[in-house]
Structure 1
Amino acid sequence: MSAVTAPDTSPFADLLDANRHFADTFTLSGFDGVAHAGVAVVTCMDSRIDPLGMLGLSPGDAKIFRNPGGRVTAAALEALVLGVHLLGVNRILIIPHTRCAMTSSTEEELRERVGRSAGVDASWQGFHVIRDQRSALAQDVAAVRSHPLVPETVAVGGFVYDVDTGLLEPTL
């Protein structure tokens, strides 16, 4: 009689199963990690955004950096500098999106909502809300363009992604 293996009941079981299927046809083994299309994208963590798909790219074509609101933070700048100098990036797109939660609440409102959900005081946590998305995008593009480690030969553009149409609107 053979031993029966209990089904995996972990909260990640479905994802690990999907990963096994993904690995069955995995084709990126040995990939060099360079952005083959020379593209880096800074965008929001919103699950409605498919950074590669919206640009007609495939895995291996671009470096993607995601955070709430798609802002150019210190960590994003670090990633962009590394991308430019070590990973073949020569075009940078900064792409916030329409109907972003980071533009529709105040810092205080987010702290209250998170605190209520967590059951603890969240008044100390920063969420970096965006009061004026277009102005924030202009600041982010300027920060990348003026960074001393991002040469002028690197194209930097600002775009707003419309989550209802899938279109990018060039803004800068």
Structure 2
Amino acid sequence: MDILDSMLERNKDFAAEHTAAGTLMPSLPLATPNLKATIIGCADMRVDPAHVLGIKQGEALVIRNIGGRITPVVLEELGLLGRIGEVARVVPAGGGEFHLIVFQHTDCGITRLAGDPAKLAHYFQIPDAEVNSKTVTDPRAAVAGDVALLRTIPALPGKWLLSGLVYDVATGLVEVVVPPAPIRPA
């Protein structure tokens, strides 16, 4: 049996016990009571934020990319997701507390690109000279920088909570690098 066959067998077990119908985007103009967060995390297979943080289906939206970084593409995705929610008349967390979380980790593969500023500049869509500002070799500094960047985005609701976490792949523990706080003070 190949890997896809194995995954499809596991999916049958999953489908027998779960359904996501109506969980994230109900057809009625109701709030989504379970959706409490959006997590931006790394694509690294060792670091699935839903698994690491024990998130149940429907509790959070997880966006993953290389390094778990805030890039122009991630900002575009957040904008499109917000628009989808508007069209569907879905309000995150029932209009209550909502959390945007930047989730990075130690021993990230993006650190191996530190010697290739042209590749990183293209990824972040910035000039080569600005690559050092992205602190790709230090996940704590990267989280702090990405949280600071998100605070400058006027389209993000100021009352949302924003925080930054770093997962240590050696210990399995998550460290709060930037504690939860509103994106902008009231």
* TM-score normalised per structure 2: 0.67
**Once the 2 structures are TM-superposed, how far is the Cα of residue 43 of structure 1 from its aligned partner?**
0.6
Tell me how far apart the structure 2 counterparts of residues 22 and 57 of structure 1 sit (CA, whole Å).
16
Once the two structures are overlaid, the 10-residue window that deviates more, 13-22 or 92-101, is 13-22
* Aligned residue pair count: 151
Which range moved further: 19-28 or 156-165? 19-28
Secondary structure of the corresponding residue to residue 57 of structure 1: coil
Answer whether contact 1:96 1:137 (CA < 8 A) is retained: yes
Q: Distance in 1 between matches of 2:152 and 2:122?
A: 26
What is aligned with 2:129?
A: none
Please give the alpha-carbon distance, in whole angstroms, between the structure 2 residues aligned to 1:133 and 1:77: 20
Q: Which runs of 5+ in 1 are unaligned?
A: 1-8, 112-122
Report Cα offsets for 1:75-119 as digits up to 9, x if no partner: 22233345556251621110110111111343549x9xxxxxxxx
Deviation at 1:39, TM superposition (A): 0.6
Query: Identity percentage over the alignment?
Result: 32
**What residue number does 2:46 align with?**
48
Q: Give the TM-score normalised by structure 1.
A: 0.72
Deviation at 1:35, TM superposition (A): 7.2
Deviation at 1:148, TM superposition (A): 1.0
Give the Cα separation in 1 of the matches to 2:176 and 2:3. Answer: 40
Q: 1:95 aligns with which of 71, 89, 103?
A: 103
As a proportion of its length, which structure holds more helix?
Answer: 2
1:12 aligned to which of 1, 4, 8: 4
Distance 1:144 1:76 in 2: 11
Q: CA 1:84–1:145 in 2, change beyond 3 Å: closer, same or farther?
A: farther
Q: Is 1:164–2:170 an aligned residue pair?
A: yes
Alpha-carbon distance change, 167 to 38 in structure 1, aligned in 2, over 3 angstroms: same
Provide structure 2 residue ranges, at least 5 long, that are not aligned to the other structure.
26-31, 86-90, 125-133, 179-186
**Counterpart residue identity of residue 88, structure 1:** P
Equivalent residues in 2 for 1:133-144, closer than 5 Å: 133-144=139-150
Rg comparison, structure with higher value: 1
